[in-house]
Amino acid sequence: MSTIAYGTPTHISALPVRYGVARGIFADAGLDLRVQTVFGGPELSAAYDRGDLWIGEIGSPPGVTAIARGARFRIVASAEKRPALMYVSLHESIQTWEHLRGRRLAALTIGSCGYWFLREILTHHGLDPDRDVTIVGLGDRYPDALELIASREIDGALLVEPYVSLGEHRGIVRNWGALANLEYLPHIQWTVQVARTEAIERDPHLVRRVLDAVAVATHAAHANPADYARFLATHLAIPDAVAERAVAREHDALELDGTLDLPGLGNLIALQTKLGAFPPGLTIDKVVDRRFVRDAALTG
């Protein structure tokens, strides 16, 4: 049985997949799956395009942008975080949007999900993302985001759980809200699972087996939130209470079966087009392999 490297853009992405590996779910499915992190959406897109990785997940903004520019992979399913569950997390001293003038904000990398969303959020609040603030890419320093905020090397970032709960627990950041709840941002499909086009054509059955096993692992994690929180606390070396808070915060907002929200993906394509990520004309059928779409109600 050969090892399957499953790509993720951060060390805290694909946590149910990591749980499934630890609990033997993939082994029970006859898959020797290992999670491999490549920090940053554009960087991970390049790894899929080169063939360094042939399956995994990624945020839809850098993934769709890469496909629009010719990258050789396609979206095949939703990942767990279908809605935009990124949180505007600013140093506790920041009180208003105007206080961000002249400050430094962080994204995972330039061109990652957080980069594009930060630009839209800042523009909505009357700030020029190119002149009024500095957006920096953290790359492999992303695990140190909270420490960088605490030291004021940066003043905030778009963070995901459990970093948000951990930052609140330590008194470093205040959570200004999830992107999914910001009324001025369109409803979008956020994290997606992708497969390299060559792998899809060579062995679509194996692609489906991996997607099915990911769904089983995701269901298992959220069917037993106490065990899942214990795993997160141990795996990430965070307090039990923080892990429990992070799991509870998102429990009802997640996609467990991998069903794509194609209308939401269409909204994401429209937003990326508006932001200048790629020229107009990109369609869903250019980025999604519909052979793997699970639910006709969401085919768009």
Cα–Cα distance between 54 and 51 in angstroms, integer? 6
* DSSP per position, 217-245: HHHHHHHSHHHHHHHHHHHHT--HHHHHH
Short-list 200, 186, 163, CA closest to 289:
200
Q: Quick one: pLDDT at residue 2?
A: 74
Cα–Cα distance between 112 and 130 in angstroms, integer? 16
Q: Quick one: pLDDT at residue 207?
A: 97
Query: What is the CATH architecture assignment of 3-83+188-298?
Result: 3-Layer(aba) Sandwich (3.40)
Averaged over 6-19, what is the pLDDT?
96
Could you tell me if 278 and 63 are in contact, meaning their C-beta atoms sit under 8 angstroms apart? no
Cα–Cα distance between 157 and 148 in angstroms, integer? 10
Cα–Cα distance between 19 and 262 in angstroms, integer? 27
Residue 4: φ, ψ to 5°: -105, 120
Q: Quick one: pLDDT at residue 56?
A: 98
Return the percentage of the chain with pLDDT > 90, whole number.
86
Tokens of 90: 């600013």
* pLDDT over 70 (residue 297): no
* DSSP per position, the chain: --EEEEEESSTTSSHHHHHHHHTTHHHHTT-EEEEEE-SSHHHHHHHHHHTS-SEEEEEHHHHHHHHHTT-SEEEEEE-S--S---EEEEETT--SGGGGTT-EEEESSTTSHHHHHHHHHHHHTT--TTTTSEEEE-GGGGGGHHHHHHTTSSSEEEE-TTHHHHHHHHTSEEEEEEGGG-TTSPP---EEEEEEHHHHHH-HHHHHHHHHHHHHHHHHHHHSHHHHHHHHHHHHT--HHHHHHHHHHHGGG--SS----HHHHHHHHHHHHHTTSS-TT--GGGTB-GGG---GGG--
Averaged over 147-161, what is the pLDDT?
96
Q: Quick one: pLDDT at residue 46?
A: 97
Count the neighbouring beta carbons within 10 Å of the beta carbon of residue 147: 13
Could you tell me if 263 and 295 are in contact, meaning their C-beta atoms sit under 8 angstroms apart? no
Angle of CA points 138, 118, 264, to nearest 5° = 115
| CATH 3.40.190.10 residue ranges for the chain | 3-83+188-298, 87-179
Short-list 133, 139, 140, 138, CA closest to 149:
138
Most confident of 67-76, 275-284, 286-295: 67-76
Return the percentage of the chain with pLDDT > 70, whole number.
98
Q: Quick one: pLDDT at residue 1?
A: 61
Averaged over 193-209, what is the pLDDT?
97
CATH of domain 87-179: 3.40.190.10
Averaged over 56-68, what is the pLDDT?
95
Rounded to whole angstroms, the maximal C-alpha distance in the chain is 56
Global pTM value? 0.90
Per the prediction, the chain carries an average pLDDT of 94
Range with the poorest average pLDDT among 27-36, 98-107, 191-200, 291-300: 291-300
Q: Quick one: pLDDT at residue 296?
A: 45
For residues 186 and 231, the model is more confident at 231
* pLDDT over 90 (residue 277): no
First to last CA, the chain: 37
**32 strand-pairing partners:** 3
* pLDDT over 70 (residue 66): yes
Count the neighbouring beta carbons within 10 Å of the beta carbon of residue 212: 15
Q: Quick one: pLDDT at residue 78?
A: 97
Short-list 242, 221, 227, CA closest to 161:
242
Angle of CA points 161, 240, 7, to nearest 5° = 40
